[in-house]
Amino acid sequence: MRSMFRMCSRSGFTREELAQSAGWMIGGSLGFVAIALVLQFWFGQTLLSQTLLYSSYPLALILSGQCTLLKSYSRAARWIMISAMLALMFLFFLGATWLAYRI
């Protein structure tokens, strides 16, 4: 059993990078949920606020990728990729929420 653990390779991420990634996940989730709840308080249950509430964790997961998965790219390239992924993920959830309201 011990030899099996010795054969496993390390992830290549430092503890600081993993802690930063976890911070982005937790903070992003709380931030997106807080924004969604404020939107619901101001405008009621709209399609936009519901979509933001449903997609808060996947969006935060994308944000956390800058510390681990995308660290080999430049800072500008990371933010461009993250922005594009956030937009695509939000549009996906917007379409799914719209379809769920129609059914």
CA dist 24 and 75 (Å) reads: 16
Q: Give the mean pLDDT of the chain.
A: 88
CA dist 36 and 21 (Å) reads: 22
Confidence at residue 9, expressed as pLDDT on a 0 to 100 scale: 52
Confidence of residue 100 (pLDDT cuts 50, 70, 90): very high
Locate the domains of the chain by residue range: 15-102
**Angle in degrees, 0-180, between the axes of helices 56-64 and 15-43, rounded to the nearest 10:** 150
Confidence at residue 103, expressed as pLDDT on a 0 to 100 scale: 86
End-to-end CA distance of the chain: 52
pLDDT tens digits for range 45-74: 999 999 999 999 999 999 998 888 888 888
